[in-house]
Structure 1
Amino acid sequence: MTATCRRCLVGRFCGEGDMPIRNEVHRWAQQTWKGAHNVQVYDMSGFLFLFEFQTRRMAEHVIMGEWKRQGLTLKLEWWSPTVGAFPDEKMFDWFWIRVLGLPLQLWNNKVMEKIGDECGGWLEIEEETEIKNHLRWARIRVRGPREKIPTKIEIADNGLIYSLPVWMESPVTYRLMEVEKRADRGDSDIYCLMVQKTDLCCWKTEIEC
């Protein structure tokens, strides 16, 4: 574990109410944790936030407290290698999708909610999409299931039909690493077989441990 990771906390807001976006969380953290100077906040998944502190002592002080923002309780834990990832066998009831090349005149919540409904049900829009940080794609969280998410969506506007590619993001999963001994390299040499899967491809990388 690197020195940076040892001074990082991961948190989520729990309770009834609107979930804050990264800028709101960053502003709240700076105002609330006055002793934790220059704390950095990163949006990990739309509902998980990574808090990077200048020192581990600052992080230790914060994690011992109880924190609330507008009625929502902030649950904090130390960063770990599997934070934000899920066991390989987990079944998901939400997915992030990216709608590529959405025309500017269609870049609004009403259209994106309709797109989400076509993919099993709209849940939320990513912060970068909402504030138009870029226009390469619109990122939307939908219910799914996977089978209901098309690879293309058509939208009619002013006599034109736009055919827009849809990319589905698979959540990160993990499982125990397979370890095998290679007879041709001697019993003392252990090599790890790592398998990485995406919707598009599957490949293996062999590394020496």
Structure 2
Amino acid sequence: MKAVPRGGRVRFVVESKSFEILIDESGDKLRGCIWERSKGITSWIRFGDVSLGRLLEGVEFCCRGGDDKGWSHAWEEEGRSYRLEKRLNEAGRFIFCSVCDVEAKRFCLIFPEGKGLSGGWNILAEKLRVVGVVPIGSLKTPLFKEVQKKELELETRTYADVTKSRAGKIGDKVWLEVGRRVKPERVELLDRCLVGRWENGVNPSLELDFLKHWAGQAWLLKGNLNIDVLGGGLLLFEFECSSEAERVLSRGKRRVKDNELILEKWHPVVGCLGNKVMVKEAWVRVVGLPLHLWSREVFKLIGDGCGGLINVDEKTFSMANLQWARLLVRVEGRDFPSSVQLVEGSGCYSI
């Protein structure tokens, strides 16, 4: 029986991330490092023989598992504490791999699940097997062979079926870890802010200068007050001191020209889209559209392919700006395509 080679270097890409695995064999043990690169940011973790086996075991378990998003696995090797966690956010499922070394320094990697049977987790498991890593328990059948078998069992689909399945699919997801880039002084400033919204979503269209003058008198403010408009009909009230913000907040609702203003303390998710909030429309830039196809009919064709055309930017319609075409389209209730293929005769343009 031919021995499986141990050690080597492999690379692969999942969505907007690229990964590199380097494994060396020392005696009968494996040691290695995995690098993750995305948008100019590089992270890495070093693994010993036991940790490599645990990693592969965990990845293959996640590939075979169901909706057990709370799954986690922890172990120690050579004074380092490792942990694998299956997590879920709006971008999809991912495996969060972290390690804390003897100096209490923490390192982490994020492995997106990817798309389809041959997604990111399956590729990771296959590459680890290729360089000789064996999971704890030594599973008889490598996961990637199970995936190949399932792919061969898939029914043959027509061109129309493939086209329908691809329509409206979202493009690559971008994963960015903020880490220590949050500025403490910005958080300190926001801690003395209140967020306001009008009851029942009614926007009275009051001038900010009027609202600022009204607030100064109604709330008997001693310090300065700044008011900024946020997305989604929200207003940000920045007080000079947190004590005045707390005093105003304790008084609850406020009536401004027969409109109820509801106040709450600022929190990190203010202005973000919630898990169940769907954007109904969006302006999109169509880059690379051939000039001979700049017409209302083609704009409608593209917009309808993205969910439904609502409007065309005036500069686009008049060809005042030829860098891109700007279209307002409906996006409610569907994922957004990452690209559009325009077929003209025997030619095809990707935009």
Name the larger-Rg structure: 2
Q: Which has the higher contact order (CA 8 A, sep 6+)?
A: 1
Of Structure 1 and Structure 2, the greater helix share is in: 2
TM-score bracket, shorter-length normalisation? 0.3 to 0.5
Higher strand share: 1
Give the TM-score normalised by the residue count of structure 1: 0.46
